[in-house]
Amino acid sequence: MYQVGARELKQHTGEVLERVQRGERVLLTHRGSPIAVIAAIERKSEKNAVALEAGRAENEAWLVLSASAFAFWDNDEDAIWDEVRGEAAE
């Protein structure tokens, strides 16, 4: 397996990516310690991963949007209605 340091990767990114595209796996090191393996992804896996990530992002966005949709629920302006119904906080 080809090994490349972080500084070398920064200086020769294009060359390293070419090696990965040819199917070679690259061990990335930082100060001599291995930190990651860079490898090409299979196209089928790529499509599945993108679809999964898109679905996750969409779900999270809906959760964020729905949380803000209820921000009006408890606020000082609506406290009068609690008093009208006899539910004023004591």
Scan for tokens 């408890």, then name that residue.
Answer: 74
3-state class (DSSP) for residue 3 = strand
Give, for all 90 residues of the chain, the pLDDT tens digit.
899 999 999 999 999 999 999 999 999 999 999 999 999 888 777 788 888 888 887 777 766 666 666 666 666 666 676 677 675 555
At 10, list the tokens.
């920064």
Q: Determine the pLDDT at residue 75.
A: 66
pTM tops 0.85: no
Q: Determine the pLDDT at residue 17.
A: 94
Superfamily of domain 2-38: YefM-like domain (3.40.1620.10)
Give dist(CA 61, CA 21) in Å, integer: 34
Q: Taking a C-beta distance cutoff of 8 angstroms, is the pair 30, 7 a contact?
A: no
Domain ranges of the chain: 2-38, 43-71
Q: Taking a C-beta distance cutoff of 8 angstroms, is the pair 2, 25 a contact?
A: yes
